[in-house]
Amino acid sequence: MVSTGALRAHLLAARLAGPVAASRAESLRGYRLFAARDPRVLLGLDPEWTWRLRDLTGLMARKCGVSADPRQVSGHDVIDPELTLAGLDAFADRLAAVAQRGGPVLLGTGHPHRLLAFYAALADALSSAGCAVLTPAQGLSVDITTRFGLRTHNLDYVRGVALMREPGPVRPGRTTGAHTHSPLPVRTVLAAAADAGGPLPELVIGDHGWVCGAGQLGFEAIGLGDPGDPALFVGEAEGSVSVAVPLDDAARPGHYLPLTRYVLNRACLSQ
């Protein structure tokens, strides 16, 4: 069992909260692109409200703990660990609710190199609690726009967690899939599930486009996000995302293990 105090200390020591790797300049660039409704940072969200730069910095200050002053343009961003802890509590509460119902769930990540083990542990625990962990559309191809142009990726599942792989043989060191922010994978998965007659997920768990894309389609979605990706937190503010947990989502995989234990214990899903 991981206590709140121990987890707070770990968040700061591992730089999952407190001063994090993301720079203030990078975050502000993301806010400007979001304000301009650049699809690269909307992550599948279609915001209902008008979001200007000052609106976004204010929102991210409340949701993450970053500076609300858009004139602060240098240094590292800072996440308030108390907001991370509160987000993890809310995240765990939603897991507990779906586990009590035995509802079907879908898990997917655009950060498989970092977060696969975190989500896989949740999938294992939810499956043991009687939830169907859905795996539709395995092997289907999805064309995703990247900085290198349009690239075809294939949907795959590892321990119940959806991810994207580049086509061709799996190369050493690339076993966990591709990094993507695109909402196209979750749209493909949900469409395939619907075409097959269901079941459809009662809860979608993940990050980036998996959360925002599902939430935009009306599915309950919860996930993790860092200060440079405002879409999850805008979605939470507007009601299309149920829970957005602020933390650094690109740390070493082992740094997320205490979070796994904390969330599963609070959700009464520890095995």
pLDDT of residue 85: 98
Query: Helix axis angle, 231-238 relative to 208-216, nearest 10°?
Result: 30
Handedness of CA 248, 253, 257, 258 (dihedral sign): negative
**Band (146; pLDDT cuts 50, 70, 90):** low
Q: What is the DSSP string of 142-208?
A: EEEEETTEEEEEEEEEETTEEEEE-SSSPPTT-TT-B----SHHHHHHHHHHHHTT----SEEEEEH
pLDDT digits (tens, 9 = 90+) for 197-217: 989 999 999 999 999 999 999
Question: Is 216 in contact with 77 (CB distance < 8 Å)?
Answer: no
CA dist 206 and 71 (Å) reads 32
Work out the average pLDDT over 30-41.
Answer: 95
Q: Which residue has the tokens 């539709």?
A: 136
Q: Which residue has the tokens 């200007």?
A: 52
Question: Is 125 in contact with 269 (CB distance < 8 Å)?
Answer: yes
Work out the average pLDDT over 240-263.
Answer: 96
Question: Is 20 in contact with 226 (CB distance < 8 Å)?
Answer: yes
pLDDT at 167 exceeding the cut of 80: no
Q: What is the DSSP string of 96-117?
A: HHHHHHT--EEEE-S-HHHHHH
What are the φ/ψ torsions at residue 35 (nearest 5 degrees)? -60, -30
Work out the average pLDDT over 223-233.
Answer: 96
CA dist 216 and 48 (Å) reads 11
